[in-house]
Amino acid sequence: MVANPPSNEPRPSRSPRPPRPAAYHADVRRAHAEETAEDYVEAIALLIDTKGVARVKDLAAQFGVSHVTVSRTIARLVRDGLAETEPYKPITLTPQGRQLAEQSRERHELVVRFLIALGVDEDTARTDAEGIEHHVSSATLEAMRRLAERSGVIES
């Protein structure tokens, strides 16, 4: 077998290796953690606004998870400065947590109204919005808002 003679031409550059699958999973886990935080602060705000208090048992019932799962999630919210609580005490939101809850609620309602403008029934729109609301850019949300306003399902 004869080797190819050396070439003076530059070797084509190799394209960078794609990130390892672990990096993708880390990104997905981080995104899911943000989704969970948004869902929890939104639920806590709603409980406080409607019942006057948010407790672990109410969140466990609402999300269909165990007290342990809720307690771990609340601990992360406390660590991240979104919530405050003490053992056997209600959960409250920090100003940052309340702001995130309001942003989440507004984004959720916008997605619901957009889906209704597309002709989706309200129950389906509310269910679908639970997943969609966390995965759209602000540019997409603004486009959804414009269509929903033109359709008359939200006021401009």
pTM: 0.75
pLDDT value at residue 47: 97
Q: Using 50, 70 and 90 to split pLDDT, how confident is the model at 41?
A: very high
Mean pLDDT of 103-127: 93
Which domains occur in the chain, in start order? 26-94 (1.10.10.10), 97-151 (1.10.60.10)
Distances (CA, A) of 156 to 11, 106, 133, 150, 152: 58, 14, 20, 9, 9
